[in-house]
Structure 1
């Protein structure tokens, strides 16, 4: 049954069911509730399929594209981002504030209904009992992931358990509930409880397109790194590195063309004619669809291009250059003195070339072993093993270059964290990490979002955003205050 996960009919039906339930508060006669929708294990499986349909990285990529230093205006820009990310304009009415909040709770709503309904379903025999357990295990893991994604955008400090987090929703709320934010500690406790349940119930050790035990380990490693619990993070990340080796140059290229899975721990598969096979809305964080469509209308029609400050970090001998930079790009050898910079230096994003039959449609890579590798480097820097961190970064670069590279040297932690942040900036360009990476590592690296002076001059962009700026935490959205006015007292600082 797992092979049916991306069938449009199931996802569409359950997406409509969940969305309508979340939006309509009228108790209508004959309304389909979870106890009616889920009456057997097969229907629980369909509900899980529907829940998977809510998960997507397109908006996360768009957030980093808009609100960091990953991009500048493209040749086909029609105003996209000029009044928002280009000038770091972010407030409680912004699309980013409402998008991540509403989508996050839509995910939780879908999963909580599935988990609640499972209590009413009696399996027919041992095979169905095992299947039900596996469904529940995946659901608990997805709930943990959904909660952490929400927390990563709305808490001010990942490392402070007493800081305000998000609204804790591990049940199906009624329209009358007016809930306030829980602390990070309370949310982390729920996440860990869910991951413990998931690890005990999930059947698969590894599966690149379904939640598996390795997904649980990867999520735990990421959370531990964000919390700066590096002993745990390094142990978990190391266990995955033993199973998922880094891709060589050929494998790296194939991975981003969706022709290979080397170093992929988990991805969200995207298929032709699936629910994500459509053009997202012109670079906004509010829309989803082709992940490559975050920066492009179609082939060779960019409304965002690679920011020069990012491009300058990527060596042409590095396989990541070949993946990130589209070969149709025009690279000015002396861009600072270009007569017409906008047309003499056109750096088109090539990371998402698309699948046969549809450009820009690619799988969303959620967990890769390169992330686990760089978590280990982060842990070494934290404990002041700067030599070990330098050796590891060299080893990664050796693989990406296909040849020996110089051994870097760091005189202090700040310098090493800056090097790590730059390495992550290249490794995970246009994968949705940059905004969060600056938020959690920027102060330690003394590095914020910094755009190239030429992009600032040519496109009227804000030059930089300091790593401790309040805009590296999203505001609670106005749309939530309309139904829950007491939550205004818990708005994040700066808004």
Structure 2
């Protein structure tokens, strides 16, 4: 745990580092002790805001999109991601290391808040702004609840990617960090069952006490903070991944029926003779799209988003995983949307054909006839799912909020649970509901499934396109690919024509991420098989 301990020491101090020695000295000039940091509920809220700031899923989006079949190498690629695209995944991989560090950083911050809160004894007195209508005790409990929920979410993310089998309680899990550890403490990997027991305990406390309150910030959108709906959605996903379809369906139903959200409609889409949507559809940084679905992706409106991570100007830019400068063909697209994904949504009326692809993209109907180098130059599927931060005049072209949970995922979870219950029509109705919402020409035909395998394959396909570039595909292939009759990644032949490794079996050991080498070196724990 030495690597994580180093991070804990670093974040425990609120001071300016003047030398390398400051990175490892435990007592530093200007350090704020816990007793100085946590004196009031207002102090707790400020620390919570900092904890939210540490939650990040950009590494999940990176590893999932590059390693599977959501992307192709772009026309301006100069070697970016090529090794990972060739399935070279080692313990030094930046996405895996970044994910490990980011989540334990957020967990550590949550733990420090939980520990520091013990120094405060809240009363029933009413609080002034920004805690209007809350007593001190209510605000105190709600802040703690959000910290517990963040800790649960981050532990769950780590389990999903670094545990070989999250359905087996005895399988190797990750390091359970539900306290502030001592500097010299070395912690082992816990079992899956031990980590999930802690996650469930954290969520139970969070659900019983949540009533979010927050200070003024760059965003006042309530869906960017923990809520009961977020916890229900997390539980639905968690129990689905665990294979507990009864509970997964229960919580998905709760979100669908009580969240107040509806599937975001496509709206009206006007296209020109070349099939490109008009400028009103694409909008701009200061003008929202006329399509409710596109407007949601632009961060102008909430739409069906259950929770998103706010990414104001100054934070890491998610579209920088695909572009050098800006989200169009002049911005240096070094990764393109996969041709295979585009072909699925390239059907009459599917709004995603326009919402996911920039208006400047080069879409060549003769792409299959070209040599590979010419294909890369002539068929440039510029990604526009993260089109830039709403409300800024070209100031944050690569920045967009990160969507943690959307209502469409709850429909997919419901559909998968209906297959488990042998209700194939019920599954088809949920898939049709999402497709209807995404089609601007009107309702689509109800799918008819011959068997459970066919149903699961269609669900997997719909998840592939609707949740593209949101960090789901890697886990989806691993957990349900075999049941859906999908044995490998499904890259388009033209996207991999120039590469030795075309696709990868979903049973390959690389569908579990390696424990980062920095962690292994500092805290000798068991590495995952194959690495």
TM-score of the aligned structures, taking structure 1 as reference length:
0.89
- Alpha-carbon distance change, 136 to 417 in structure 1, aligned in 2, over 3 angstroms: same
- Alpha-carbon distance change, 233 to 107 in structure 1, aligned in 2, over 3 angstroms: same
Q: Can you list the C-alpha shifts for 1:341-393, whole angstroms capped at 9, x where unaligned?
A: 11111111010111232212111111111011110001011222122212321
The range that moved more, 17-26 or 126-135, is 17-26
Summarize the alignment of residues 162-241 of structure 1 with structure 2, pairs less than 5 Å apart.
162-204=170-212, 207-241=222-256
Q: Distance in 1 between matches of 2:211 and 2:410?
A: 23
Structure 2 match to 1:57: 57
Of the three residues 343, 359, 380, the one matched with 1:312 is 343
Q: Is the 8 A contact 1:14 1:50 kept in 2?
A: no
Matched, 1:405 2:420: no
- Alpha-carbon distance change, 48 to 204 in structure 1, aligned in 2, over 3 angstroms: closer
How many Å apart are 1:445 and its aligned residue? 1.5
Matched, 1:475 2:492: no
1:164 partner SS: coil
Matched, 1:245 2:253: no
Matched, 1:261 2:302: yes
Q: Is the 8 A contact 1:220 1:233 kept in 2?
A: yes
1:266 partner SS: strand
Higher helix share: 1
Summarize the alignment of residues 254-403 of structure 1 with structure 2, pairs less than 5 Å apart.
254-272=295-313, 275-276=314-315, 289-299=316-326, 300=328, 301-316=332-347, 317-339=349-371, 340-354=374-388, 355=390, 356-357=392-393, 358-402=396-440, 403=442
2:120 partner SS: coil
Q: Is the 8 A contact 1:86 1:461 kept in 2?
A: no
- Alpha-carbon distance change, 335 to 16 in structure 1, aligned in 2, over 3 angstroms: farther
Structure 1 match to 2:7: none
How many Å apart are 1:112 and its aligned residue? 0.4
The range that moved more, 249-258 or 134-143, is 249-258
Structure 2 match to 1:450: 490
The count of residues paired between Structure 1 and Structure 2 equals: 464
Q: Can you list the C-alpha shifts for 1:428-458, whole angstroms capped at 9, x where unaligned?
A: 1111111111121112123231211111114
Summarize the alignment of residues 1-40 of structure 1 with structure 2, pairs less than 5 Å apart.
17=14, 24=24, 26-28=26-28, 31-40=31-40
How many Å apart are 1:81 and its aligned residue? 0.9
Structure 2 match to 1:283: none
Q: Distance in 2 between matches of 1:120 and 1:361?
A: 38
Q: Is the 8 A contact 1:265 1:368 kept in 2?
A: yes
Q: Distance in 2 between matches of 1:293 and 1:382?
A: 39
The range that moved more, 181-190 or 356-365, is 356-365
Matched, 1:433 2:450: no
Q: Is the 8 A contact 1:18 1:109 kept in 2?
A: no
Q: Can you list the C-alpha shifts for 1:399-424, whole angstroms capped at 9, x where unaligned?
A: 21131222222222222211111100
Q: Can you list the C-alpha shifts for 1:6-27, whole angstroms capped at 9, x where unaligned?
A: xxxxxxx979749989963534
Q: Is the 8 A contact 2:520 2:527 kept in 1?
A: no
Q: Can you list the C-alpha shifts for 1:260-315, whole angstroms capped at 9, x where unaligned?
A: 1121111112223xx41xxxxxxxxxxxx112221111222211001112111113
1:305 partner SS: strand
Structure 1 unaligned runs (5+)? Answer: 1-12, 277-288
Q: Is the 8 A contact 2:63 2:96 kept in 1?
A: no
2:223 partner SS: coil
2:365 partner SS: coil
Structure 2 match to 1:91: 90
Structure 2 match to 1:285: none
Q: Is the 8 A contact 1:168 1:187 kept in 2?
A: yes
How many Å apart are 1:35 and its aligned residue? 2.9
Q: Distance in 2 between matches of 1:140 and 1:365?
A: 20
Q: Distance in 2 between matches of 1:293 and 1:199?
A: 35
The range that moved more, 51-60 or 13-22, is 13-22
Q: Can you list the C-alpha shifts for 1:108-140, whole angstroms capped at 9, x where unaligned?
A: 111101100000112354322211111101111
Q: Is the 8 A contact 2:146 2:212 kept in 1?
A: no
Summarize the alignment of residues 153-168 of structure 1 with structure 2, pairs less than 5 Å apart.
153-168=161-176
Structure 2 match to 1:414: 453
What RMSD in Å do the two structures reach over aligned CA positions? 2.2
Q: Can you list the C-alpha shifts for 1:144-189, whole angstroms capped at 9, x where unaligned?
A: 1111111111111121111111111100011211111111111111
Q: Distance in 2 between matches of 1:110 and 1:461?
A: 43
Structure 1 match to 2:146: 138
- Alpha-carbon distance change, 15 to 399 in structure 1, aligned in 2, over 3 angstroms: farther
Q: Distance in 1 between matches of 2:99 and 2:312?
A: 24
Q: Is the 8 A contact 1:15 1:53 kept in 2?
A: no
Structure 1 match to 2:5: none
TM-score of the aligned structures, taking structure 2 as reference length:
0.83
